[in-house]
Amino acid sequence: MSKLSKVIKEISLDGNKDGCIRVGAIDEPYGKESKSVASIAVSLQSGSDEVDWKVHIPKANIDDVIEALKATKEQI
């Protein structure tokens, strides 16, 4: 598992007593000279380095993902 190079924000996971969402950046996530990505990692236990779900998003896709999340928020 690639580790977050820089945690930008840690958010409490709603509906879970101790979970968190960490948003950050990972440098060289797929080996030397691979492009950095944004990372969203969900842990059900905030004190743990163990990640239950994660997604890597290339920089070029971030704006589209934000738009899709906003549209999804309107549907739920």
In a domain, 29, yes or no: yes
In a domain, 71, yes or no: yes
In a domain, 13, yes or no: yes
| pLDDT tens track for 12-32 | 999 999 999 999 999 999 999
In a domain, 1, yes or no: no
Structural domains of the chain, count: 1
In a domain, 60, yes or no: yes
**What DSSP state is assigned to residue 8?**
E
Comparing C-alpha atoms, which of 25, 46, 24, 45 is closest to residue 34? 25
- Domain limits at 18? 6-75
In a domain, 10, yes or no: yes
| pLDDT tens track for 35-72 | 999 999 999 987 777 899 999 999 999 999 999 999 99
Q: How many angstroms separate the CA atoms of 28 and 44, rounded?
A: 26
Q: DSSP readout, 18-57?
A: S-EEEEEEESSTTSTTPPPEEEEEEESSTT-S--SEEEEE
Kindly report the pTM of this predicted structure: 0.84
